[in-house]
């Protein structure tokens, strides 16, 4: 059985967990640590940004865990130009008052001495919202599909983020992706961007041109740092809307997913095939993976592994 068939079989079990390392996370050391840790904890599906650096990091992480094989799967994230997942932030020194509130609120520890470490920033914009002086701005990064054509051949899945009002760009980029990649494509949709009819028309367009699709129902992007039912409610409700709209392809929930997501899915009996977790999965091991001795200090690593295993077991039980 080939790797594509292994992934299809895995998803068909309807008990999947995908760890999101960050669609725009360019901290390759962090990616390596996250993947090594969570693959040892029992996760087999990982999402990274579509860059050679991130791909090399995930391979290194899987090799450290002895999991670089046909049963661990790599998903590369690509997006339209104005999707929130492909933004980063910067601080205007002329307006910054050095209050450091942004440093405390950043989930990636990407702000030090009132400076943003670009490679760590994932564009969640918590810092933008927290700044009373309008000193922090966001900007979009670009995905050039032509530049990563060879990298796409290494992917087990491609995630296409389409949270944009520019449908012409979505369709243009979609055509380019399916001309270069023929594996599983996960279409990640932020419910807040579309009304129901527009969304269903767009999905119908995608399905007409390509059949090997799953959907990632992104309830509230990058909000899973809070671990309660209300935070994950939008993701579950969005998946329910899609199922009631007669969407039959595999559906994963994301955007606010946390340790409560599985319970809420069970309580509401919403039919999904998997859970994608980013912010929360990174948060619960943050104090460990930020350490320089993460791999060399066995006590540190084993403590992190216990935390990761507990979460994985909760999510796929």
> Does 194 share its domain with 133?
no
Q: Are residues 201 and 99 in the same domain?
A: no
Say if residue 104 is in the same domain as residue 243.
no
124 and 25 inside one domain:
no
Pairing status of strand 87-91 against strand 136-140: antiparallel
Dihedral class, residue 255 (left if φ above 0, else alpha if ψ from -120 to 50, else beta):
left
Task: Mark whether 130 and 249 lie in a shared domain.
Answer: no
Using one digit for the tens of pLDDT, what is the confidence trace for 220-261? 888 878 899 999 999 999 999 999 998 999 999 999 999 999
Q: Are residues 25 and 163 in the same domain?
A: yes
Q: Indicate whether 176 and 27 sit together in one domain.
A: yes
Where helices occur in 185-295 by DSSP H, the ranges are: 196-209, 229-244, 261-268, 279-283, 286-289
Q: Total structural domains in the chain?
A: 2
The answer on 199 and 55 residing in a single domain is yes
Is the pLDDT assigned to residue 29 strictly greater than 90?
A: yes
> For residue 243, how many other CB atoms are within 10 A of its CB?
15
pLDDT above 70: residue 1: no
Residues 7 and 131 in one domain: no
Q: What is the pLDDT of residues 32-68, one digit of tens each?
A: 999 999 999 999 999 999 999 999 999 999 999 999 9
Same-domain check for residues 196 and 301: yes
- What is the reported pLDDT for 143? 77
The domain containing residue 286 runs over which residues?
Answer: 3-81+148-316
Cβ atoms of 184 and 212 within 8 Å: the answer is yes
The pTM of this model reads 0.96
CATH value at residue 105: 3.30.70.20
| Residues 264/236, Cβ–Cβ less than 8 Å | yes
Q: Are residues 136 and 153 in the same domain?
A: no
- What's the longest Cα–Cα distance across the chain? 59
Q: How far apart are CA 285 and CA 226, in angstroms?
A: 14
Q: Which residue has the higher pLDDT, 153 or 82?
A: 153
Give the CATH number for residue 23. Answer: 3.20.20.70
Which pLDDT value is given to residue 251?
98
């Amino acid at each position: 059985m080939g790797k594509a068939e292994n992934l299809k079989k895995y998803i068909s079990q309807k008990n999947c967990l995908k760890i999101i390392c960050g669609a725009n996370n360019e901290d390759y050391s962090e990616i390596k640590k996250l993947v090594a840790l969570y693959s040892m904890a029992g996760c087999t599906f990982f999402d990274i940004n579509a860059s050679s650096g991130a791909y090399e990091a995930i391979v290194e992480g899987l090799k450290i865990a002895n999991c670089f094989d046909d049963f661990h799967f790599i998903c590369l994230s690509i997006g339209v130009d104005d999707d929130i997942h492909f933004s980063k932030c910067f601080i205007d020194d002329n307006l910054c008052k050095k209050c450091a509130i942004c440093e405390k609120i950043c989930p990636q520890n990407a702000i030090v001495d009132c400076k943003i470490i670009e490679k760590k920033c994932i564009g969640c914009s918590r810092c933008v919202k927290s700044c009373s002086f309008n000193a922090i701005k966001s900007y979009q990064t670009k995905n050039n599909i032509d530049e990563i054509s060879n990298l796409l051949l290494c992917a087990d899945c491609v995630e296409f983020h389409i949270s944009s009002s520019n449908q012409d760009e979505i369709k243009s980029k979609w055509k380019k992706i399916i001309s270069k990649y023929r594996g599983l494509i996960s279409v990640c949709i932020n419910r807040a961007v579309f009304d129901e009819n527009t969304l269903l028309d767009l999905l119908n367009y995608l399905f007409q041109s390509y059949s090997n699709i799953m959907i990632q129902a992104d309830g509230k992007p990058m909000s899973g740092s809070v671990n309660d039912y209300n935070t994950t409610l939008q993701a579950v409700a969005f998946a329910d809307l899609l199922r009631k709209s007669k969407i039959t392809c595999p559906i994963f929930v994301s955007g606010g997913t946390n340790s409560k997501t599985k319970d809420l899915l069970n309580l509401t009996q919403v039919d999904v095939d998997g859970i994608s977790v980013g912010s929360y999965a990174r948060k619960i091991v943050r104090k460990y993976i930020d350490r320089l001795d993460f791999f060399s200090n066995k006590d540190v690593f084993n403590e992190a592994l216990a935390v990761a295993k507990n979460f994985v077991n909760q999510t796929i039980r």
